[in-house]
Amino acid sequence: MRIVLAGTGSAVGKTTISTGIMKALSEEHQIQPFKAGPDYIDTSYHTLATENNSRNLDSFFMSDEQIRTSFERGLKTSKADFGIIEGVRGLYEGISPIEDVGNTASIAKAIDAPVILIINARSLVKSAAAIVIGFKTLDPTIKIEGVILNQVKNKKHYLKTKEAVETLAKTDVIGGIQRDDAIKVEQRHLGLVPAVERENLLNYIEKWGEVVRENIDLDAFMEIMKNAGKLPEGREDTWHQENHKKVKIGVAMDEVFNFYYTENLEALKANNAEIIPFSPLHDEEVPDVDGIYFGGGYPEIFAKELESNESMRKSVLKFHKDENPVYGECGGLMYLTNAINGKKMCGIFNYESTMTKKVQGLSYVIAEAQKDNVITQKGDIFRGHEFHYSKVLLNGQKPEFAFNILRGKGIEGAQDGLMKNNTLASYMHTHTAACPQFASNFTLNAGK
């Protein structure tokens, strides 16, 4: 029992509507949320709405068989009967103008899920029907079984547009949301503000749930989910698993560092790691662990507070100097440099990170390991993604890099992955399905 909530494009209200539906249905059902694509922030809203960790399904990272494995794992872990997937960008937007890799349509196909199309209906009536006809005609294998009209002016506008879509596009309209600034979502340079940072966010989500209950036919929505049928055959593992010695992995988790894929942490646990959360912002020192994982986030927003926690910064530096394994992604990379915009950080790498006005990296990435490191071995080719407005200022120095970037940008000159002792830090975010050796290698290094 599953469904995909797709948009005709970005900024049509997918996250607000999807999260509202998840919240409304979670009052009576166990809902497992998912996000198409690599986004970390939308998933934090889903998780808050459903109290189940949202998961990412991504056809650049995953084969169809891995997508189905990941989808089933999510339902099994949360003991949910229903899986709701929020799409990314427009239904057909991916890395190719004609193929499906990296788009929402590829996820719907992989799990054979019905699709609800969300349209920004501002100033549209008959044209809304044309949009639906176009989306249905472009790929008839995509099962668009319902439409939600967002940004309608009033009830009259909604009813006229509903009539146009149902009569001309032969597709049920299951609801419409009127324009309301009170349910807009706060934005930042990487997208929405993460749920962990937003006080009173649960109040917003409660409001979105109320709006959904009042304006969307949830019985019709549930009926579409229930009629989805069986998942297609074919499964594939999303990580390598070895019987390593038991280790403790410290994972930085707080307002600063919160960009983690659920399956990355599950893969570490499957490789005999105990996850020990800690806060570089609030705690005084690194906990008693064998390795540290710094995910992404917004260290630039909290640079002053991170600088003031000198005992933690010195503790991380000592942990590194003792040659324990440390792995940092994007925001984690920035924290491990000398400074962020002049504010002192850990100083493992003798460079400064600085924020820029323009995006510096926004791409799916393919990388080849040119040296053995804490997560990959020389010659490994794996995938990830990068999205950042910061730069690492190398000032003419030539650091030791772990990765050649075959697709994407990296730190400099198509290279990424700063290496020093047993520490690795890169702009690339990895997902275990796209780097299945990640957890096995990291826990192996932590156990040495």
**Structural domain count, the chain:** 2
- Residue 240 domain-assigned (yes or no): no
b/e map of 380-415 (b: 16 or more CB within 10 Å)? bebbbbbbbbbbbebeeeebebbbbbeebbbbeeeb
> Is residue 164 domain-shared with residue 285, that is, in the same domain?
no
> Is residue 22 domain-shared with residue 170, that is, in the same domain?
yes
Counting residues of the chain whose pLDDT is more than 70, the rounded percentage is: 96
> Is residue 218 domain-shared with residue 264, that is, in the same domain?
no
> Is residue 154 domain-shared with residue 287, that is, in the same domain?
no
- Residue 291 domain-assigned (yes or no): yes
**CATH code, domain with 199:** 3.40.50.300
> Is residue 311 domain-shared with residue 217, that is, in the same domain?
no
- Residue 339 domain-assigned (yes or no): yes
**CATH code, domain with 431:** 3.40.50.880
> Is residue 206 domain-shared with residue 298, that is, in the same domain?
no
Supply the pLDDT for residue 188: 43
Quote the CA–CA distance of 84 and 38 in Å, as a whole number.
Answer: 16
| Structure confidence by residue, pLDDT tens digits, 143-163 | 999 999 999 999 999 999 999
- Residue 132 domain-assigned (yes or no): yes
> Is residue 81 domain-shared with residue 178, that is, in the same domain?
yes
> Is residue 215 domain-shared with residue 258, that is, in the same domain?
no
Assign 3-state DSSP to the chain and report helix, strand, coil percentages, each to 5. Answer: 30, 30, 40
- Residue 203 domain-assigned (yes or no): yes
> Is residue 309 domain-shared with residue 402, that is, in the same domain?
yes
- Residue 285 domain-assigned (yes or no): yes
The one-letter amino acid code at 111 reads I
Range of the domain at 264: 247-446
> Is residue 121 domain-shared with residue 41, that is, in the same domain?
yes
| Structure confidence by residue, pLDDT tens digits, 108-138 | 999 999 999 999 999 999 999 999 999 999 9
The band of 190, judged by pLDDT with boundaries at 50, 70 and 90, is very low
Give the residue from 193, 226, 259 where a domain finishes: 226
> Is residue 420 domain-shared with residue 272, that is, in the same domain?
yes
Give the residue from 226, 255, 289 where a domain finishes: 226
- Residue 39 domain-assigned (yes or no): yes
Q: Can you point out the beta strands (E) in 153-282?
A: 173-178, 187-188, 191-192, 247-252, 257-259, 273-278
Reference 337, options 397, 405, 379, 272; nearest CA is 397
Active-site residue list: 330
| Structure confidence by residue, pLDDT tens digits, 341-396 | 999 999 999 999 999 999 999 999 999 999 999 999 999 999 999 999 999 999 88
Give the residue from 195, 226, 257 where a domain finishes: 226
> Is residue 435 domain-shared with residue 309, that is, in the same domain?
yes
- Residue 235 domain-assigned (yes or no): no
